[in-house]
Amino acid sequence: MVELTSENWDSVVGDNPLVMVDFWAPWCGPCKSFRPIFDQMSQRHRDIVFGTVNIDEQKDLAARFGVQAIPTLKLISDQTVRGSRTGAMPAPELDLLIRKFREVAASPLVPRRS
């Protein structure tokens, strides 16, 4: 898992095709309960970079991505946000979200013409 900041955001997101970002804060109860699940999934899905953004320390990133509630997940592939989800979730639900994220990431943004 990678702690994302304004300084390393472009390199981490630019160098990895699949990135899942958890926007959180240390005072947030749901964030604290979700963290072990997010950690568990980072171990299970090693093809995805799991990053965290502390919104208290990285206000510019929270604003840039329109984070208004936490925890918020941003699903990024090829430097493009492909999905977003707000709220803590149980492991099976996060696992399903990750599988759907892979499907969306594999499809082109613009349909190809024959």
Single out the residue of 79, 53, 74 nearest to residue 1, CA to CA: 53
Q: Which two tokens stand for residue 63?
A: 């604003």
Res 109: pLDDT: 58
CATH class of 2-95: alpha beta
Tokens of 4: 């994302």
The pLDDT value recorded for residue 3 is: 97
In order along its 114 residues, the chain shows pLDDT tens digits of 999 999 999 999 999 999 999 999 999 999 999 999 999 999 999 999 999 999 999 999 999 999 999 999 999 999 999 999 999 999 999 999 999 998 888 876 545 444
CB 36 within 8 A of CB 84: no
- By annotation, the residues acting in catalysis are 28, 31
Specify whether the CB–CB gap between 16 and 42 falls below 8 A.
no
Domain range summary for the chain, segments of one domain joined by +: 2-95
pLDDT of 113 reads: 46
Which pLDDT score, from 0 to 100, does residue 63 have? 97
Structure tokens that stand for 90 in this block: 């149980």
Q: What is the pTM of this model?
A: 0.90
Alpha-carbon distances, residue 74 vs 20, 77, 81, 112 (angstroms):
6, 10, 7, 26
